[in-house]
Structure 1
Amino acid sequence: MIIKNVSIFTGKDYIEQGYVVISGENFSSVGAGEPLEKEDKIIDGQGKLLMPGFINAHAHIYSTFARGMILDYFNPSSFTELLEQLWWRLDRKLTLPEIELSAYVAAIESVESGVTSLIDHHSSPSEIRGSLRAIADAVNAVGLRIDSCYEVSDRDGLKAAEDGIAENIDFFAKRNEFRSAHFGLHASFTLGEETLNKVSEVSKGKVPIHVHVAEGPEDEENSLLRYGKRIIHRFQEHGLTTPGSIYAHCIHISNDEAQIIKESDGYIVVNAQSNLNNGVGISYWPDFLKMGVKVGIGNDGFGFNLAKDLRFFLLTPHHEKRDPRVSGVNDLIKTFFRTNAEIATRSFGKELGYIEPGQRADFVLIDYTPPTPIERDNFIGHFFYGVIDNLKVTDVFVSGKQIVSEGEIVTVDKQAIYSEARKLASALWKRL
């Protein structure tokens, strides 16, 4: 298949007018001008922008049915109370049908916003076993890649913690290039020593973890008070700082902890929009970059349009320091386009995240007409200030297979899924 008459952002460089050739699941050729190859299927891109599919490096699919939910009591004065009064009430009521429909909706809204790979972090204490497969089946049916895990925690008792450990191990053993896994942990403040010892024993230092770290100040305070050490030091002592691990948020960590993440070849994933919504603070990621820590971008389940989080990611450091110079559009190359691509490549075991020969053909076509000249040196400025400001994704491909065509999902019946989701959401709210 050839897609011609497109501008191309490869993830590293910009081609004003060019083409891509896809052979099977991979890009086989990328170039400027007109293609020399002859293929059976030629698509005219009509001057659209072709670029890598977006990668969401930290999501919560199970948050889907919280949208529009009105609780009988909700008046949190801290982050822990927010968890107790909203998220922990919701996740305890989830059953497999709601988990599955949540995943369908999350995948549909993600791919409509240009996301082709989701890195998920799941919780459903009343329905743990089989939950990760239900998520993966739904997301794969839509056509996206999914890396999921179950967030092990002590908050629902020993049996739930043991089931969460088993669910992670079982799902990790069955991973492939469309469904992969980390070992999920909720956060240090809900994990006792016994549970961390069990996780360390079964993972044997070979399974990277995916965990919330110092999202609220309570997490670090709890670790220091109960264990006399900071969170990352605690995980390190338990042998859990496995290469490839994802540490979400990291708002209140120390430089020593950031250094451990760097030296253990882990990733800090920032979720700026959610952090502001929860009032927990700002992850000042420019300092992490200066230290050489790899920084990725997620959205923590705050909707599924990742483009909005790119805005908050870049702008929150300006607010934190009252200085617009502390971060700039080129930082997206180092983070969103580089680190997120590395996380996905590492997770799914295939070269992902760039428009290059040999890479899996995960890409999007975006309808963008620039009102000012666009070229190699200023593309990233157009991306930040123009493309994502009014994102118009028209076509999405994963491994060369078309998932969205002219703005419409072609793999599943969206209207039927949303209709069923509304019924399940209403019943869930009544149980809450």
Structure 2
Amino acid sequence: MHVPIDLLIEARWIIPVEPADVVLEDHAVAVNDGRIVAILQQGEANTRFFPRQRKRLAHHILIPGLVNLHTHAAMTLLRGLADDLPLMEWLQIHIWPAEEKHVSEQFVYDGTLIACAEMLRGGITCFNDMYFYPKAIAGAALASGMRAAIGLITLDLTTPYAADADDYLAKGLAARDALRDEPLLSFCLAPHAPYTVSDQAFTRVLTLAEQCDLPIHLHLHETLQEIEDSVQRFGIRPIERLHQLGLLGPGLIGAHGIHLNMDEIALLAQHSCSIAHCPSSNLKLASGIAPTATLVKQGVNMGLGTDGAASNNRLDLFQELRLAALLAKGYNGQADAVGAHQALRMATLGGAQALGLNDAIGSIKIGKAADLCAVNINDIGLTPCYDPASLLVYSAGREYVTDVWVAGQLRVANGHLLETNEIELINLAALWQNQIRPLNV
């Protein structure tokens, strides 16, 4: 007797990520009520299930939806505003003044909506955000049908969004309370960075993280200047400061993690912390190259992030996949430093684990949500295929993504967004461009 299900996806290859280093050939994924109910040979699937919808992917690799572990989605509206500058000059002279003048709830909603469209088309089904107006971020993600971890940002700086750390936290927690029942949303406490958050504010963040069982997401050891300033101001490096404050733990997500010594890497591993590796942003801002292979070898959980479009300038995890693997090889002088399967794990299960969502997403596994990405490799630039995982990481790009599902719902079909009018979004971006930097005509 055939069992009725919502969807059956038949793929030439499936890389489930869990278990590790596995590639399944001519298998199918059965989906019902948004969850994966079986992974089996196509012949067996056709005798066992009666799907209401069937998707045949004869020339595709099916992978878990990608998880963007660190981004500032609304900054899509600042893409290319002040390129080719060092981080602190970029921030203090250009980005922060532009934000002071233009950032509003509407800015955040529109910028995040555009970012969601870019990310979904590139196979990203979940993003971990850090920005102002969390309700606007959540609204754009939900309107796009995308999964999001909403960062409740905290700073000791006054902005148009909030006056001080207490005000940031109060507004963030109110947003969480209003949205906590949305199944596609989760939340993080997001103290911006050790150089913008006081000890007192960090202590309050830690208390709330423990009370609410929320991860803590912050920028960490991104530049040498950040570390030198910390030593001058506090007498210790930022990670040691966080350690003394009690913030290191399984819920800590450090974005960038470039300038780390062996003692700091051991400390991160000991406390089961995660690093959001952002290779393109690190290179573009000349911040440095993270010791990825050493972090992995020492047992630190690694995810991949794009950072914001203002500092990358692409919300493209396929680019980060390739760079993460290649930079690790070059940095260590070892061709096997980070392999294709390890890089893919960073972009999927590693990010999910950092967010505490690894029971729900990050791999193609029975019981998990059907967050899936199909990549068409029937292209002259992707032939021949000896190893699907290597082809995916070293040859494929986001332009080969054809279909994307979030919780079993199709969001991208044949390369086209189903929830969003792309022309309207392009026009919306142009309107904001004219406001932020009026055209000289």
Give 3-state SS (helix, strand or coil) of 1:211's partner: strand
Q: 2:229 aligns to what?
A: 222
What letter corresponds to residue 331 of structure 1 in structure 2? Q
Alignment of 1:70-109 (within 5 A): 76=85, 78-92=86-100, 93-109=102-118
Matched, 1:165 2:169: yes
Matched, 1:289 2:296: yes
Q: CA deviation at 1:228?
A: 1.5
Q: Is the 8 A contact 2:222 2:258 kept in 1?
A: yes
Q: CA deviation at 1:25?
A: 0.7
Q: CA deviation at 1:141?
A: 1.0
CA distance in 2, matches of 1:286, 1:138: 35
Q: 1:337 to 1:96 in 2, by over 3 A?
A: closer
Q: CA deviation at 1:64?
A: 0.5
Q: CA deviation at 1:49?
A: 2.2
**Residue deviations 1:199-223 (CA, integer Å, cap 9, x gap):** 3454446432100011011211122
Q: CA deviation at 1:5?
A: 5.0
Alignment of 1:360-399 (within 5 A): 360-369=369-378, 371-374=383-386, 378-388=387-397, 391-399=399-407
CA distance in 1, matches of 2:203, 2:346: 33
Q: 1:185 aligns to what?
A: 191
Q: 1:14 aligns to what?
A: 23
Q: Is the 8 A contact 1:172 1:182 kept in 2?
A: no
Q: 1:330 to 1:44 in 2, by over 3 A?
A: closer
Q: CA deviation at 1:250?
A: 1.1
Q: Which moved more, 1:222-231 or 1:416-425?
A: 416-425
RMSD: 2.4
CA distance in 1, matches of 2:84, 2:52: 61
Q: 1:128 aligns to what?
A: none
CA distance in 1, matches of 2:258, 2:365: 35
Q: Is the 8 A contact 2:301 2:354 kept in 1?
A: no
CA distance in 2, matches of 1:193, 1:315: 38
**Residue deviations 1:215-242 (CA, integer Å, cap 9, x gap):** 0112111221111222122122223224
What letter corresponds to residue 154 of structure 2 in structure 1? V
CA distance in 1, matches of 2:203, 2:131: 21
CA distance in 2, matches of 1:58, 1:154: 21
Match of 2:416 among 403, 408, 411: 408
Give 3-state SS (helix, strand or coil) of 1:182's partner: strand
Q: Is the 8 A contact 1:51 1:363 kept in 2?
A: yes
What letter corresponds to residue 293 of structure 2 in structure 1? P
CA distance in 1, matches of 2:341, 2:322: 13
**Residue deviations 1:238-265 (CA, integer Å, cap 9, x gap):** 2322422210111112323222322222
Q: 1:422 aligns to what?
A: 430
Q: 1:340 aligns to what?
A: 351
CA distance in 2, matches of 1:410, 1:18: 26
Q: 1:198 to 1:50 in 2, by over 3 A?
A: closer
Q: Is the 8 A contact 1:209 1:241 kept in 2?
A: no
Q: CA deviation at 1:95?
A: 1.0
Q: 1:172 to 1:235 in 2, by over 3 A?
A: farther
Matched, 1:136 2:138: yes
Q: 1:42 aligns to what?
A: 54
CA distance in 1, matches of 2:245, 2:333: 39
Number of aligned residue pairs: 414
Give 3-state SS (helix, strand or coil) of 2:30's partner: strand
Q: Is the 8 A contact 2:350 2:362 kept in 1?
A: no
Q: Is the 8 A contact 2:11 2:62 kept in 1?
A: no
Alignment of 1:232-243 (within 5 A): 232-243=239-250
Give 3-state SS (helix, strand or coil) of 1:7's partner: strand
CA distance in 1, matches of 2:235, 2:187: 31
Q: 1:391 to 1:419 in 2, by over 3 A?
A: closer
Q: 1:383 to 1:202 in 2, by over 3 A?
A: closer
Normalising to structure 2: TM-score of the pair?
A: 0.87
Match of 1:209 among 208, 212, 216: 216
Matched, 1:256 2:263: yes
CA distance in 2, matches of 1:323, 1:49: 27
Match of 2:324 among 313, 319, 322: 313
**Residue deviations 1:287-307 (CA, integer Å, cap 9, x gap):** 111211111111112221111
Q: CA deviation at 1:392?
A: 1.0
**Residue deviations 1:329-364 (CA, integer Å, cap 9, x gap):** 2432553343123235x14x8521222221111112
Give 3-state SS (helix, strand or coil) of 2:153's partner: coil
Q: CA deviation at 1:412?
A: 2.2
Q: 1:44 to 1:329 in 2, by over 3 A?
A: closer
Q: 1:331 aligns to what?
A: 342
Q: CA deviation at 1:325?
A: 4.5
Q: Is the 8 A contact 1:213 1:247 kept in 2?
A: yes
CA distance in 2, matches of 1:134, 1:358: 31
What letter corresponds to residue 289 of structure 1 in structure 2? V
Q: Is the 8 A contact 1:318 1:324 kept in 2?
A: yes
Matched, 1:355 2:364: yes
Q: 1:236 to 1:282 in 2, by over 3 A?
A: same
Match of 1:63 among 72, 75, 80: 75
Q: 2:4 aligns to what?
A: none
Identity %: 23
**Residue deviations 1:379-420 (CA, integer Å, cap 9, x gap):** 3212122223x6411111111111111111111222223212
Q: Is the 8 A contact 2:349 2:361 kept in 1?
A: no
Q: CA deviation at 1:322?
A: 4.6
Match of 1:26 among 25, 35, 44: 35
Q: Structure 2 stretches of 5 or more lacking a match?
A: 1-6
Q: CA deviation at 1:22?
A: 0.9
CA distance in 2, matches of 1:399, 1:324: 36
Q: Which moved more, 1:29-38 or 1:56-65?
A: 29-38
